[in-house]
Structure 1
Amino acid sequence: MRRVADIAKAAGLLALLTAAAPLATATEAAAQKAQAARGAPPRGLQGKPGDKLLVEADELIYDNDRGTVTARGNAELHYGPRTLQADSVRYDRNASRVFAEGNVRLTDRDGAVVTGDRMELTDDFKNGFIDSLRVQQTVEQRGEVVRTRFSAPRAERIAGEQTSFEYGTYTACEPCKDNPEKPPLWQVRAAKIIHNNETHTVYFEDSRLELAGIPVAYLPYFEAPDPTVKRKTGFLTPRFLTSTAIGTGVATPFFMNLAPNYDLTVTPAFLSRQGVLGQAEFRHRLETGAYSARVSGIFQTTPSAFLPGPLGAGDRDFRGSVESKGRFYINDRWTTGWDVVGVTDKWFLDNYRIRNQALVSDYFREAVSTAYLTGQGDRSWFEARGYYFKVLSSFDWQKEQPVVAPVIDYEKRINGPDPVGGELRFEGNITSLTREATDFQGLPRSNAFLFSPSVNGINYPLYDTCSTFTRSTCLIRGLAGTNTRASAQVSWRRSFIDPLGQVITPFAYLRTDAFFVNPSLSGFQNALVPTIAKIGEGSSGRVMPAVGVDYRYPFVGDFGRLGVHTLEPIAQVIARPSETRIGRLPNEDAQSLVFDDTSLFEWDKFSGYDRVEGGLRANLGGQYSVVTPAGWYANVLFGESVQIAGVNSFRRGDIANVGLESGLENRRSDFVGRFQLSPNQHISLITRARFDQADFGVNRFESGITARFSPFLPLSVSAFYSYYQAQPLLGFNNRREGITASATYHITPNWFLTGSALLDLTHYLDARDSYNDALRTYLANPIGAVPLPPSSNRFYLSGMSLGGGYQDECTTVSLNYIISPIATALGVRERNQTVLLRVELKTLGEADLRQNVGTPISADGIAAVR
C-alpha cells in the first residue's frame, strides 16, 4: 500500500479521477506516486474532459492492490453539478462505486441536500443506497421560503432522478432544536415514498397523516407534486360547502397543466339539495400579458329553497355566472385590460359561496365590471375606462345603475415658458353615462307611523317616495337618460422665496365644461323630473377663470434635544366669477363633499368635475410641527375658509343638495383642525375635526390610533372613532357615531389571537329601528298613538370577528367567528354569523370550512327551511 499524506493541506491537492478508470500497472503506480509528490494528479486517474470526478481532502490514500482511493478528512467530491461531502470517502475503481461514511452530505443539481450516516453510490452519484437518509429541499412558494424534509432508515437512489424511501416520512416542519427526535407538528409516514425528480412527483404508498405523532388520516395511496412544482396536472385540495339552501357538499377541483403558459381548472361541486354546480377556469399567459376566464352554472334540483322573485331566484332552474380578467402591456408606456363579471341573478355568487374579487364590499353589494386603456409618460398620464355596475343586494334596482362609457382622463405637466417659468398643468376629462331610471333618494319622514310593507318577514321604514319629484322630499342621485360632459383645465403656478423666507406662490387656472343632456322621460318615475328639477335639456357650457396667491411664512427654530419647531401661518386668496347654472346641471361625480383639513387649501373643494367652485374666497390657517432627535413628530393645523364676494357655491344646493350642511354653506365656514402625533415609528395618532363657526360645536370628528408594541409586547392594535352631526338635507336625520377597532396578540411566536369590532353608537336613534314598537303602539291606539322612544341600547354591535390560530414555517391553522352586517346601507339589523376554519399544510395543500350559524332571513334571497 502506498500513501500520500497531508498533500492537500500543503498544496491544496485536487485529484481528478476517471469515472471508470482501469487498474494501474506497477510502473504506472510508481509514476503516479511521483506525480502525487509534486502535487499533480495521477496520470492514470485523468479521464475525459467533462467526465471527471474532482476530489478535495486533507488526506488521500491509494491502495493499488485493491484498486481503491480513499479520501479522509473534510472529503469533498464534485461530479458535474453534484457534490458529495463526508468524513471519509472510498472510491472502488474496479466496481465504480463510491462509499461515504460519517456526516455524509450530497447536494444535488437542483439544490436538494441529502444527508445520511452512510452512502453507497455509483461514481457519478446517480445510483446507490443510503442509510439513515435525510433530504432537505429549499423552495419558494408565494414569496415565502419553505424547506421540505424526507427521512428514512434506508433509501435507494436510482439514476440520479428517483429516490425510494423505505418506511419514510415527509414534512415541511423544522425539527425541534432541543429534542430532534420529537415528532414534528405534522408529517406523512408511509411504507414507501418515491420521489421522482424527473417528473417532480412524490408517491406515497400505505401512508397516514400524523399530527404531533398521532395518526389522524389514512390513505392507501396518493401522489402529489414535489415542492419545486408550481403547476402540475392533478386534484387540488377539496373545498367543503354547506348552507340551508344548498345543503352539504364538496367541491373537487382538478387542475390541468395544458402547457407552460396556460391551464384549465375544472371544479364540480356536489351539493345535497341542489345537484352539481359546475365551474371551470382557464388561464393563459402571453408574451405581453395574461387573461383568465371562469364560468359557473347549475341546474337547481330544489329552486324552492330560495325566495321567489323579486326577493330571490326561486323561480329559476338554471343559474350561473361568467367572469374574466385580463391585462396586457402594449409597450413600456401603454397598458390595456378588463375585469368583468356577469350573473344570471344578483344572489347567485353569495348563495353558492363563489369567491369573486370584483365584489366591492359586504356593505354595498355590487360587482364592478371595467375595461381600460392607460398610458404614462414622463410627466403625463392618460386613462380611458368603461364601467358596468351590477347590484347584488335585494334592495337595489338595476335600472338605477348607470352604464359609464367612456371615462377619459388626461394630465400633462410641463415647465412654464420664460420669463413666466413655474409649472403648467393641463387636465382633461370626458364622461358619458346612461341610466334607465332616475335614481332617487327620499328624505326621511318625521312621521313615525308611515311604514313600508313587510319584506321577507322584515319591516322597513318608509322614506318619502319620489315618484313625483319635489325638492323638499327627494334627492336625485342620478338622472335617467344619457348625460355627457367634457371638461378641460389649464393651470399655472410658481413659488418665490424672498430673503426673509416668505413663500409666495401665485397661480391661475381656466376651466371650461360642456354638457350634453338627453334625459329619459319614459317610466313612472322619470316623467317631469327634468322639468321640475329645472335640468336643462340639450347642450350647455360653463367657463370658470381664476387667479390666486398662496402665502406661507415658516418660522423655524432648532432647540437641540427639544427638536426642530416650525410655526407656519398660511393664507390663500382665490378670485373668480360666481358659479353659474347651480342645480340645473346633472351632478354625478361631485356628490362626495367632505370639508376638513385635507381640503382646506384646495383650489376647488368639490370632489369631481360636475360642480365647480366660484366666487372670491380666502382660505386662512396655520400649522405648527416639531421633530425631535429621539424620533418624536407632532403636527397641529387649524383654519377656516371665508367667502368674500360672489355667489357661495356651497350655499345653493344642487339636485343632490351637495354643498348644504357641509360646513362651507355660510360666509365664514366651520373651523377645521388636525392633530398628529407619532412618538416613534411604531405608534401613530391622528385626530381631525370640524367645529361650528357660531358656537364651536363639533360637527365632525375623527380620531384613530395604530400601534405596534413589539418587541416589548407582542401586540398590535388599531382603533378609530368617528362622529358626524345630523345632516337632514342630505338624508341623515340623526347624528352618526361609531367605533371600529382591531387587535392581534401573539401569545407566543407561533400562537396568536385576533379580533375586530364595529360598534354603531347611534343605531338606536334611527327611526327605522323603532318600527316594531311604534307599530304596536299604533295598532293598540290608532287615534291617540304616541310614538314609543327607540331602543336605548346605545352600543349596537354591527360587525365583529374573534379568532385565533397557530402559524409556523410549515403549518397555518386559524379559527374565526365572524358577524357581518347584511344590507348595512339600509340599516337592517339582521347579520350573518359565520364560523370559518382554515388549515394549511404547506406543500401539501389547504382547506377551509365555512359554516353559517343563526338564520339570516333578510337580504340573501334564501327561503326559510322547510
Structure 2
Amino acid sequence: MRRFAVPSPSFSRRLLAGGLSLVALASAATPMAWAQIALPGAGANKGAPLSRNEPVTFRADNVAYDSHNGIVTWTGHVEIWQNDHILRADKVTFDRNTNVAAATGNVAMVEPDGEVLFADYAELTQGLRDGVLTNMRALLASDGKLAANGARRTEGKVNDMSRAVYTACKLCAQHPERPAFWELRAYDATQDVEHKRIEYRDVYLDMLGVPVGYLPFFSTPDPSVKRQSGFLLGDISPHDKQLGTYVTLPYYYVINRQSDVTFIPLLATSTGPQLTTAYRSRLNEGSIRVTGAIAYDTNKQDGYFQNGNYIAPEDSKGVQGYVYSKFDFALNQTWRYGANINLASSADYLRDYRISGYGADTLNSNAYLEGFGSGAYSRVDVQFYQGLNRGVINQSELPFVLPRYIYSYFGEPDALGGRLSLNTSDFDLYRANGTADERGQLSLNWDRPFKSDWGQIYTLTAHLDSEVYNARKLDLVPNYYAANAATSGQALPTVAVKMNWPFLRPTHNGSQLIEPIVQGIAAPNSGNSATRLLPNEDSLDYEFTDTTLFSLNRHEGVDRLDGGARINAGLHGNWTFNGQQIDALVGESFQSHIQKNQVPNSGLDTHASDIVGRVMFTPASWFDVTARARIDHNNGNVHFADGLVNVGPSLLHVSGGYIYSSNSFYYYYSNNLRTSSPPSQFFQPTNEATLGLSSTYKQWRVSGYGRRDLANNRFVAVGADAAYTNDCFMFDVSFNRLYTNINGLNGDTSILFTLTFKTLGTFPVNG
C-alpha cells in the first residue's frame, strides 16, 4: 500500500497562491490562454456542490488543439475551476468526443471547505463531478490525512476508495515513508462529501505500523465536522464493584444548530440496565443543560452502624433515576435568571451506577434572579438540599429556603471623602424537623481613609448590624432553645479606627517593608445570644486566624456578632528581592469581655487571644511555601495550623499540604448542647497531611498523591496517574483508592484507562 506523500513545497505554495483567489488568476500578467465554457443555466453559486449547470473555466500556459481528433491539450500550470472547486495539474487532455479530461503531473483538487486531493493521475467527466484517481492523497481538516491506491468520484458527492489509510498524526519530514503513530487501514472506504462522513470496511488500527485492533465496519464524521449525529465511543469495564462487567454505547443526535441530545444505554451483569439522556441547547439569551437517567437497580442494600447508631437501608431497589439540570438566561443587560435542579431517587443508586455527586453530603438545587448595577448587586433565590450521607445528615433536618434575598451596594466617595456601603440578606427558611424562621437583616458601613504627615494610613469605620427574627421550633436542630417560638432582634453599632504605618526601604534588587498595624474597635457588649432566643443559621462555624484578625465581626455570618471593646495589633513584613519575596504577618487581639457565642478552643476564650500568624516564602520560581498557625499565648500549644508547599521544576515537582486543629468543629452541633456536651468526635484533633509528586518530561506525565489521617494513623485516599501525549494521541491511566466510610461503604477503588485519538474520539475503559 502506498504511504502518504506530501507534494513539494513549491507546488503547495503555487496551489494556495493560485487556488484561493480567482480574481488574481484572471488578472495575472503572465501570458497564458484561458477560456470559459458556459453551460445552460449557469449561475454564480459560490461554494455550492458541483453541478453540470455551472460554468467551467480553464486556464493554462499553453494550449494545443487537434481538430481532426477533437482533442484539446493544456500544459504548464493548468487550472480548471467550477464554483470554488479547483483542479490543477501540469498537463490536462480533454477529449471533446467523450467529454473526458485526463490530468497528469502534480494533480491537485481543492474543495470549498479547504480539503485538498492529490493524485498521480486523474480522469474526470461531467465537469469535475465524476472521475477516477490513482494514488490519491487528501489533506483534510484538523491535520487529517487520507490516502488510497485508487478512488472513484461520483456526482461530486461520493469518493469510493480502495486500500485506504487515514491518520491525524504528523508524518516524519525526513522519512515520510515511515508509518504514522496510529492509522486506520481499510480494505476500502467511502467518503460522503455531501454529508461529511467517512465509512471504513475491514479496518485495522495500526500503532507504529503494528496492527492492534480490527473492526469489520467503522464510521466517523469528516474531520471538518464539529457536530454530527451518530454513535460515539462507549465505556467498558471488565469488573466494577457494584456494576460487575458493563458496557455503554452512546448515540449523539444533532437536533438543530443550537441543540443536541445524547442517549447513553448501559448494560451491566450485576444490576439492571440504565438509560441516560443528556440534552444541551445554546440560545441567544442563554443555555440549557439537562442530564437524567432511569435505571432498574437490583442491588440489595444493607443497613449499617455509624457512630454507634444503626442506619436502616434505603428503599433503592427497582426503578431509580436522577436529574441534573442547569438553566442560565439573560433577561437584559442588567438582569439574568436561571435554575440548578439536582435530584436523585437515592444515594445508593448514585453509588451503584457511579454517578457524579456521590460522596458529597448533599445535592443542592436553586432557582434565582439576579441583577448587576453600578456598584450594586441584587439577587433573589430559592434553595433546596437533598441529603446523601445518611450516616451524618437527616433529610428532615435540612432546610428549604423559600426565598432568600441579597442586596449589596458600594457607593461613590462622598463630600467627606468616605464611602457608604449597604448589605442585606433576608430569608424565609423551613425545616420539617427543625427550626423554621424568617430573618430581615441590614448592615451599613462607612469607611473614611486619610493619611498623616508621618506616613500613617488611617481608616475610620462606622458600622451597624441589625437583624430581626420570627422563629418557630426553636427547641429543635440547630438551636435547641428551651422556648418553642419567639420574635427577637438585635442591633450592634460599631466604631473602629485602623492604623497602618508602613516603613519602606528600597534595595538594589527589591524592597523591604515593616508595617505595624493597630486597630481599635468599640461596640456595645453583645452578650450571650442564648438568653435572647436568637436563631443561628449562618454562624455555626468559627475560625480565628490571620484572615479574621482585623475583621469587625469574626463570625462567618451575622446571626452572631462580636461586641465589646477590643484592640487588634499586628506586625506585617515583606521583603522583595530579584522578583521573589517573603511576606509575614503576626498578631493578637485584646478584648474587654469574653464572647459567649464561640465554640470551645476558638482562640478567643481569654481577654488576650491566641497569637495568629502566617508566612509566605517564595525564594525562587520553583519553590513557594505558605504556612499559618494559631498558638496559645500562655503555653505555646498550637491550636490550629495549616500549610502548603510546592517545590521543584516540572521534571520533578513535589507538593504538600498539612492541616491541624485541636478540635473537629464539624461535630460541634450534632448534639443538643443545652442538655449535653459536644460528642466525643468534637474533641478528637484533626491532623492530616497530603503529599503529591508529579513529573513531566517531553510527552510523558506521571503523578501520585496520598492523603493520610495522622490522628488515626490511616490513609484517607491515595492515587496515581500516568499519561503519554503527542500531536494526535493521548493515553492516560489513573488509579484512585478511597478509605472513607460513606453510607456504610468502606472504601472504593477505581482504575480508568483512557485512549484519545485525534478526530476519532475518546475510548475509556474502567477497571
**TM-score, normalised via structure 1 length:** 0.75
Distance 1:277 1:590, change over 3 A: same
Distance 1:154 1:590, change over 3 A: same
2: distance between equivalents of 1:352 and 1:286? Answer: 32
Aligned-pair CA distance for 1:210: 2.5
Aligned-pair CA distance for 1:621: 0.8
Aligned-pair CA distance for 1:427: 0.6
Q: Are 1:592 and 2:530 counterparts?
A: no
Report if the CA contact (8 A) 1:306-1:314 is conserved.
Answer: no
Q: Are 1:721 and 2:658 counterparts?
A: yes
Aligned-pair CA distance for 1:493: 0.8
One-letter amino acid of the structure 2 residue matched with residue 611 of structure 1: R
Q: Are 1:701 and 2:677 counterparts?
A: no
Question: Pick from 566, 573, 581: which aligns with 2:513?
Answer: 566
1: distance between equivalents of 2:27 and 2:379? Answer: 74
Structure 2 match to 1:539: 487
RMSD: 3.4
Report if the CA contact (8 A) 1:371-1:386 is conserved.
Answer: yes
One-letter amino acid of the structure 2 residue matched with residue 110 of structure 1: D
Structure 1 match to 2:587: 639
Report if the CA contact (8 A) 1:600-1:641 is conserved.
Answer: yes
Tell me which moved more, 244-253 or 547-556.
Answer: 244-253
Report if the CA contact (8 A) 2:387-2:395 is conserved.
Answer: yes
Deviations 1:445-499, CA, capped at 9 Å, x for gaps: xxxxxxxxxxxxxxxxxxxxxxxxxxxxxxxxxxx13122221111111221334
2: distance between equivalents of 1:173 and 1:692? Answer: 62
Structure 1 match to 2:748: 832
2: distance between equivalents of 1:816 and 1:402? Answer: 38
Matched ranges for 1:353-752 at <5 A? 353-354=354-355, 356=356, 359=357, 362=359, 364-395=360-391, 396-418=393-415, 420-437=416-433, 480-519=434-473, 533-534=481-482, 537-561=485-509, 563-583=510-530, 584-628=533-577, 630-643=578-591, 645=592, 647-649=593-595, 652-653=596-597, 658-707=598-647, 709-710=649-650, 714-726=651-663, 731-746=681-696, 748-752=697-701
Distance 1:700 1:85, change over 3 A: farther
Distance 1:314 1:89, change over 3 A: same
Aligned-pair CA distance for 1:280: 2.7
Report if the CA contact (8 A) 1:725-1:735 is conserved.
Answer: yes
Aligned with 2:396: secondary structure? helix
Question: Pick from 754, 758, 761: which aligns with 1:842?
Answer: 758
Aligned-pair CA distance for 1:167: 0.7
Aligned-pair CA distance for 1:604: 1.5
2: distance between equivalents of 1:385 and 1:552? Answer: 40
Q: Are 1:236 and 2:232 counterparts?
A: yes
Q: Are 1:275 and 2:272 counterparts?
A: yes
Report if the CA contact (8 A) 1:207-1:220 is conserved.
Answer: yes
Aligned-pair CA distance for 1:131: 3.4
Aligned-pair CA distance for 1:233: 2.3
Distance 1:600 1:267, change over 3 A: same
Tell me which moved more, 63-72 or 163-172.
Answer: 63-72
Aligned-pair CA distance for 1:519: 1.0
1: distance between equivalents of 2:489 and 2:226? Answer: 57
Q: Are 1:221 and 2:217 counterparts?
A: yes
Aligned with 1:67: secondary structure? strand
2: distance between equivalents of 1:734 and 1:44? Answer: 92
2: distance between equivalents of 1:830 and 1:275? Answer: 23
Distance 1:240 1:365, change over 3 A: farther
One-letter amino acid of the structure 1 residue matched with residue 423 of structure 2: E
Aligned-pair CA distance for 1:801: 0.5
Report if the CA contact (8 A) 1:235-1:255 is conserved.
Answer: yes
1: distance between equivalents of 2:344 and 2:395? Answer: 13
Uncovered stretches (5+) of structure 2, i.e. residues with no partner: 1-13, 45-53, 305-309, 669-677
One-letter amino acid of the structure 2 residue matched with residue 678 of structure 1: T
Q: Are 1:803 and 2:714 counterparts?
A: no
Structure 1 match to 2:51: none
Structure 1 match to 2:76: 71
2: distance between equivalents of 1:288 and 1:798? Answer: 44
1: distance between equivalents of 2:619 and 2:43? Answer: 66
1: distance between equivalents of 2:175 and 2:528? Answer: 80
Distance 1:256 1:133, change over 3 A: same
Matched ranges for 1:163-242 at <5 A? 163-240=159-236, 242=239
Structure 2 match to 1:820: 738
Between the aligned residues of both structures, percent identity stands at 25
Aligned-pair CA distance for 1:415: 1.4
Uncovered stretches (5+) of structure 1, i.e. residues with no partner: 1-8, 19-34, 140-146, 438-479, 764-793, 852-866
Aligned-pair CA distance for 1:116: 4.1
Aligned with 1:247: secondary structure? coil
Aligned-pair CA distance for 1:38: 8.1
Question: Aligned residue pairs: how many?
Answer: 710
One-letter amino acid of the structure 1 residue matched with residue 260 of structure 2: D
Aligned-pair CA distance for 1:124: 6.4
One-letter amino acid of the structure 2 residue matched with residue 734 of structure 1: Q
1: distance between equivalents of 2:652 and 2:99? Answer: 61
Report if the CA contact (8 A) 1:128-1:157 is conserved.
Answer: yes
One-letter amino acid of the structure 2 residue matched with residue 404 of structure 1: V
One-letter amino acid of the structure 2 residue matched with residue 385 of structure 1: D
Aligned-pair CA distance for 1:520: 6.6
2: distance between equivalents of 1:520 and 1:567? Answer: 50
Aligned with 1:625: secondary structure? strand
Aligned-pair CA distance for 1:202: 1.1
Aligned with 1:588: secondary structure? coil
One-letter amino acid of the structure 2 residue matched with residue 138 of structure 1: A
2: distance between equivalents of 1:52 and 1:715? Answer: 64
Report if the CA contact (8 A) 2:36-2:56 is conserved.
Answer: no
1: distance between equivalents of 2:619 and 2:338? Answer: 44
Report if the CA contact (8 A) 2:571-2:586 is conserved.
Answer: yes
2: distance between equivalents of 1:315 and 1:268? Answer: 20
Distance 1:228 1:311, change over 3 A: farther
**TM-score, normalised via structure 2 length:** 0.84
2: distance between equivalents of 1:692 and 1:256? Answer: 63
One-letter amino acid of the structure 2 residue matched with residue 332 of structure 1: Q
One-letter amino acid of the structure 1 residue matched with residue 588 of structure 2: E
Report if the CA contact (8 A) 1:661-1:727 is conserved.
Answer: no
Report if the CA contact (8 A) 1:17-1:45 is conserved.
Answer: no
Aligned-pair CA distance for 1:399: 1.5
Report if the CA contact (8 A) 2:664-2:686 is conserved.
Answer: no
Report if the CA contact (8 A) 1:393-1:823 is conserved.
Answer: no
1: distance between equivalents of 2:603 and 2:471? Answer: 30
2: distance between equivalents of 1:421 and 1:758? Answer: 51
Report if the CA contact (8 A) 2:301-2:316 is conserved.
Answer: no
2: distance between equivalents of 1:554 and 1:100? Answer: 81
Structure 2 match to 1:475: none
One-letter amino acid of the structure 1 residue matched with residue 254 of structure 2: N
Indicate the structure whose relative CO is greater, using CA pairs within 8 Å and at least 6 residues apart.
1
2: distance between equivalents of 1:403 and 1:81? Answer: 62
One-letter amino acid of the structure 1 residue matched with residue 501 of structure 2: Y
Matched ranges for 1:315-330 at <5 A? 316-330=317-331
2: distance between equivalents of 1:716 and 1:138? Answer: 37
Aligned with 1:275: secondary structure? coil
Report if the CA contact (8 A) 2:659-2:688 is conserved.
Answer: yes
Report if the CA contact (8 A) 1:595-1:605 is conserved.
Answer: yes
Tell me which moved more, 593-602 or 47-56.
Answer: 47-56
Aligned-pair CA distance for 1:154: 2.4
Matched ranges for 1:153-164 at <5 A? 153-164=149-160
Deviations 1:146-182, CA, capped at 9 Å, x for gaps: x222122222344444333221112222223454333
2: distance between equivalents of 1:536 and 1:543? Answer: 23
